[in-house]
Chains A and B, each alone.
Chain A
Amino acid sequence: MIENILNIIGIENYIFLTVLLFCIGVFGVLYRRNAIIVFMSIEIMLNAVNLLFVAFSTYHQDAEGQVFVFFSMAVAAAEVAVGLAILVSVFRNLGSIDIDNLKNLKG
């Protein structure tokens, strides 16, 4: 029952789910102005890709896909820590984290 789970569900269902999840992440980056919500959308996109990695790791019966998910989670943790630190210092200097207010580099 467990080892032929992809025979029941089908790899294409996982592909459609992750494509939709990734597109929701892109939509969030484009739609919102709050920088923290933009960060959360990036997390959604990373999770979509991780889910596809694990689905294809099961599909090919190979453990290396899950090892890559482990590395991508380590990179995501580092990215969130540094990104939130940047947001805190932006908030300290400007008083808001609205990304449309960050126009100091505009030429």
Chain B
Amino acid sequence: MSPVLITFYFLAAFTLATAFLTIYSKNPIHSAIYLVLCMVSIMGHYLLLNAQFVAIVQLIVYAGAIMVLMLFTIMLMNLNKEDEVHKPRITRLGAIVVFILMSMVLITIFINSKTIMGEYDSTGEDFQSIKVLGKVLLNEYMVPFEFASILLLVAMIGTVLLTKKEKDQK
């Protein structure tokens, strides 16, 4: 076993465990903290694949911005307590059955599709440094890049409008 493979298995086990604990823990604050750990371990996977730009964006956007937003919302709603009622037993059983069946079916599909994908060979050329990514992003994907900024602007205006209090109601 090479050290890279050991690192991958450790990171994969950590990712799956923290993702499961996010759903399983009763306190929403604990869920958010486990989700931060899950995002950071996914950043570890990106670093293992040598995708530096995506790794840094993952750390800043997901583990930083999105999770801080979620923690603020949890604390704003004062949900820091463990009084959530469970769903009915039949629904929980259905969820577990769906989880097992879906993962079994998908894994079986991908085991049998291995012959289609072909062999991996590396040419050794640089394709994922920030320089190359910037050129691809601003040449071929210029228009979607600008639309992404419009999307973020619309989301910001929508958020402000949705959370504003309406004064004439009360």
Q: Which residues in A have some Cβ–Cβ distance to B below 8 Å?
A: 1-9, 11-13, 15-17, 19-28, 30-34, 36-37, 39-41, 43-44, 47, 50-51, 54-55, 57-59, 61-64, 66-67, 69-71, 73-82, 84-89, 91-92, 97-98, 100
Known: A6-B120, A70-B54. A26 touches B28 (CB 8 A): no
Closest chain A residue to B11 by CB distance? A17
Give CA–CA (A92, B45) in the complex, Å.
39
Extra pairs beyond A19-B110, A40-B32, A88-B77 (20, CB < 8 Å): A8-B5, A9-B4, A17-B12, A19-B103, A24-B99, A26-B99, A27-B23, A27-B99, A33-B84, A36-B31, A44-B35, A50-B54, A54-B46, A55-B49, A71-B144, A74-B151, A76-B62, A77-B61, A85-B159, A88-B162
Give CA–CA (A74, B66) in the complex, Å.
11
Whether the Cβ atoms of A81 and B159 lie closer than 8 Å is yes
Tell which of A33, A36, A91 touches B87, judged by Cβ atoms closer than 8 Å: A33
Closest chain B residue to A3 by CB distance? B122
Residues of B within 8 A of A82 (CB): 155, 158-159, 162
Tell which of A19, A39, A47 touches B106, judged by Cβ atoms closer than 8 Å: A19
Give CA–CA (A55, B28) in the complex, Å.
31
Give CA–CA (A21, B16) in the complex, Å.
6
Whether the Cβ atoms of B152 and A74 lie closer than 8 Å is yes
Please report whether the interface of chain A is mostly helix, strand, loop or mixed according to DSSP.
Answer: helix
Give CA–CA (A105, B85) in the complex, Å.
22
**In whole Å, how far is A9's beta carbon from the nearest beta carbon of chain B?**
5
- Tell me how many residues of B have a C-beta within 8 Å of chain A: 83
Whether the Cβ atoms of B23 and A31 lie closer than 8 Å is yes
Can you report 13 residue pairs joining A to B where beta carbons are below 8 Å apart? A17-B12, A19-B110, A24-B19, A24-B20, A30-B94, A30-B99, A34-B84, A40-B31, A57-B128, A58-B49, A63-B132, A66-B53, A73-B62
Tell which of A62, A76, A84 touches B70, judged by Cβ atoms closer than 8 Å: A84
Residues of A within 8 A of B87 (CB): 31-33, 100
Known: A8-B2, A12-B111. A39 touches B49 (CB 8 A): no
Residues of B within 8 A of A100 (CB): 87
Closest chain A residue to B118 by CB distance? A59
Give CA–CA (A62, B46) in the complex, Å.
15
Whether the Cβ atoms of B35 and A58 lie closer than 8 Å is no
